[in-house]
Structure 1
């Protein structure tokens, strides 16, 4: 897939809407250099009166789009008909091709839960190439490196999810801290912990961890 004729310039941070639950509110668009959506998400953006003129591209197979959409937004359309990959996967490929490393994703959860699990799997496949951060009504979540810390989280719910396993997990700043714990997604529940300090630190030796932090204190 080539974007040579799309007119999209090199960017460094992208906002991407995909076809899960529509966000209750939108982030500050000024902090993004690229804004995009899949064709499924385009429908809820229209209903929510999102400023569609800010979109850099809309990707998908466009089977559900009307002729009026084609006429108004055709210059923003990138046709990605490959049925062997999800629309989320194909949108990330476009973003990566443009040299972007940071992607904030809205609409990754909710709706049909097989889509949610699929989105996590897609993000896992890109985790060494992109910094992908998901946002929904309840939390933000993303894969974290072997040594990680985050501030401003006191009294927020924190969950860890081995994907599919993580070895020798050690945490600081949580109500129930972990010490050199080996965890597997099929046997270990590391969810619904509580940050008791403003800064939480997490380290682990091998594997992969998905980190969730609640929005509410």
Structure 2
């Protein structure tokens, strides 16, 4: 949230032993927390982190993401989108679930799912499957996610990193050597870091000029602050 320090502490999630899925009768009760599965790359790592972070929450998938979810052994409670990517076997397996047809081509299925989450009162939103595949889709998804980062308390997991949007200050847990990268989405002024091998002190980062890739944590915590702009921070899993 703007003006607040976001802090992630404690150990990383344990490898998952069992998955608990919401039943239709519990959708309203569990609406404040959700896992959203988009139609991108998944592997066992981000699936485990996603499920462990969002235990007992509502599980939502875009129509293409529903195919990915089934392959990963996840049963969504809600499928949303224009349904142009859904596979027949997925539709059959999820026939009893909630289907929300949104045929508009003015926005992608990820944004349709985000709007649904906003309407349902979701506050804590874990998202997987938003990277990989076509580069234009991945970049477009990051742009959409940035547009809603003030609406939700995100946990964003790609197969190799957890991602964070930073508009002010963030402090994160780490291990020595954890990979960290800083990518400016808007021109970021006054970037200062602590706890990284290659520190920045009130320096600018901007697209096409300077980025902060391939850094690493030196200890169990690191912090990043900016005076203005927007950074996308990658913390390796």
What TM-score results when the alignment is normalised by the length of structure 1? 0.87
> Contact 2:127–2:156 at 8 Å: present in 1 too?
yes
Structure-2 change in CA distance of 1:68 and 1:125 (3 Å)? closer
> Contact 2:176–2:218 at 8 Å: present in 1 too?
yes
Matching of residue 56 in structure 1 with residue 56 in structure 2:
no
Matching of residue 22 in structure 1 with residue 42 in structure 2:
yes
> Contact 1:167–1:182 at 8 Å: present in 2 too?
yes
**More displaced, 69-78 or 167-176?**
69-78
**CA RMSD, aligned part only?**
2.0
Secondary structure in 2 matching 1:73: coil
Matching of residue 40 in structure 1 with residue 84 in structure 2:
no
User: Runs of 5+ in structure 2 lacking a partner?
Assistant: 1-23
> Contact 1:153–1:200 at 8 Å: present in 2 too?
no
Shift of 1:143: 0.4
Instruction: Give runs of aligned pairs for residues 55-204 of structure 1, distance below 5 A.
Output: 55-65=76-86, 66=88, 69=91, 72-73=94-95, 75-204=97-226
Shift of 1:43: 1.3
Q: Which residue of 1 aligns with 2:233?
A: 211
Matching of residue 9 in structure 1 with residue 28 in structure 2:
yes
> Contact 2:66–2:90 at 8 Å: present in 1 too?
no
Displaced runs of 4 or more, over 4 A:
none
> Contact 2:38–2:130 at 8 Å: present in 1 too?
yes
CA distance in 1, matches of 2:235, 2:179: 6
Shift of 1:145: 3.9
Secondary structure in 2 matching 1:43: helix
Secondary structure in 1 matching 2:213: strand
> Contact 1:169–1:178 at 8 Å: present in 2 too?
yes
